[in-house]
Amino acid sequence: MAAGVRLLGPGRALAQDRDGCTRWAFLSDTHVASNPDHRYNGFLPYRNLREIVGQIAYDLPDGAVITGDLAWKRGESHAYENLKAILAPVTAKRPVYLGLGNHDNRAGFHGTFGGLIQDNLTVPDRHVATAIAGPVRLIVLDSLLVDRASGLLGQSQRAWLKAFLNASDDRPAILFLHHRPKIDLLDTPYLFDIIEPMVKVKAVVYGHSHEFGFSEYKGIHLINLPSTGFSMSGGQPVGWVEARITKSGGEFVLRALAGSRKLDGCRTRLCWRA
Ligand SMILES: [Fe+2]
């Protein structure tokens, strides 16, 4: 059985108030290794994530999403067990959605998290997860292309997405995946052929680059999350993003833990297209 996205946590009913605000923790590229002391580029991914989870657990949001590259290398056997243990303070009380990136291993991931599957939406050879979180709909996609650094949603997942969006109400939708649209996501044109005309799709959130930034493509906001584990260059933060989302837009606050901290606390406000 293939695995791409998992929902952990108690699966509690999320708030349904369409006029309210929902607060989420967005994380990416945790790169947890089997060895908790594993160091890369001067950073300690295991310890960074443990500290970030402590921050999140101190003031619990409504939930969390991690957009892939959960593990180091190709998903070392104990990496996912470590990840599960680190996330426990949050998953005990809130839903946490996990996506897979090019450094993950489906079998290893499934071996650890398989028993906790709570999403019941299936796409052949992929897993997707959706949730209604107050005013918005969250859609976590699977862009892992085995043995390739680049990503692909694939025809069947795109077809599912199109049908799902067509069947959904006009609640603002935010997509999550690992790879960068236009750069690493090989079927970006096909994805945007689907979502550009659907005004309800407001933003795509992703990781992969270990860089933090905002841009826009065809009217849709692109939100590139930093890595919680390590940065590739000195100018980039290591951390996570705290998101407050309403039906008309969102406020995204960088929580920088290491690397460049000059943008720590920086607030970016986005308005959804109408
Ligand atoms: Fe990564």
Average confidence (pLDDT) over 100-106: 90
Residue ranges with strand state E in the chain:
5-8, 22-27, 63-67, 96-99, 122-123, 126-127, 129-133, 136-140, 173-176, 201-206, 213-217, 220-224, 237-245, 249-259, 267-271
Q: What is the distance in A from the centroid of ligand 1 to the CA of 166?
A: 32
CA 69–ligand 1 middle distance (angstroms):
5
Q: How confident is the model at residue 119 (pLDDT cuts 50, 70, 90)?
A: very low
Domain tally, the chain: 1
Element (H, E) at 59: none
- pLDDT tens digits along 26-85: 999 999 999 999 999 999 999 999 999 999 999 999 999 999 999 998 767 799 999 999
The 3-state DSSP composition of the chain as helix, strand, coil percent (nearest 5) reads 20, 30, 50
Side-chain half-sphere exposure of 159, counting CA atoms within 13 A? 7
| Residue 249 clears pLDDT 80, i.e. is over it | yes
State the distance from the centre of ligand 1 to the C-alpha of 33, rounded, in angstroms.
12
Distance 97 CA to ligand 1 centre (A): 17
- What is the per-residue pLDDT for 151? 97
What is the predicted pLDDT for the residue at 19?
Answer: 84
Looking at residue 5, its pLDDT comes to 42
Looking up residue 9, the CATH number of its domain turns out to be 3.60.21.10
pTM for the whole thing? 0.94
The domain of 88 spans 5-271
Task: Tell me, in angstroms, the distance from the centre of ligand 1 to residue 41's CA.
Answer: 13
Per-residue pLDDT reduced to its tens digit, 7-36: 566 554 566 678 899 999 999 999 999 999
Cα of 31 vs centre of ligand 1, distance in Å, is 7
